[in-house]
Amino acid sequence: MRHREAKQKPRPVLIRHGDTVKIMSGRDKGKTGRVLSVDPVKRRVTIEHANIIKKHTRPNPSKNIRGGILDKEGPMDVSNVMILCPSCGKHARMGTKILSDGTKARTCHRCDATIEN
């Protein structure tokens, strides 16, 4: 890294496991699904029934794996999805707000409602 290039602090991923999200870009644009896993280091999310990929597996009788070509969900970038707000029912950007008891809560930028998880 050169001395002029400043290393940027990574932004936190506000999407969590179990959230309902809408895909905004890519081949599955417009689909909605539940988040199965989140990788905050790589900024990738896996969404149920979206970004289906083919995985070739070798049979392994000791682990009871048949082998063949399997369809499974692949990860996609966090920037390609937006969370669906449960109160207004639309996709929205996320923000954080500090509540009166000192805890942080995720909020919807459209309706300013807190999103519980």
The full length of the chain comes to 117
How many domains would you assign to the chain? 1
Indicate the residue type of 45: V
The model's confidence at residue 59, banded by pLDDT at 50, 70 and 90, is very high
Task: Say what the pTM is.
Answer: 0.82
Q: Is the dihedral of CA 85, 86, 87, 88 positive or negative?
A: positive
Q: Under 8 Å CB-to-CB from 98, ≥6 apart: which residues?
A: 104, 105
The model's confidence at residue 8, banded by pLDDT at 50, 70 and 90, is confident
CATH of the domain at 62: 2.30.30.30
Which tokens go with 95? Answer: 């923000």
Whether 105 is in a domain gets the answer yes
pLDDT, tens digit, 9 for 90 and up, residues 62-116: 999 999 999 999 999 999 999 999 999 999 999 999 989 999 999 999 999 998 7
Query: Given the DSSP bridges, would you call strands 75-77 and 44-47 parallel, antiparallel or unpaired?
Result: antiparallel
Whether 81 is in a domain gets the answer yes
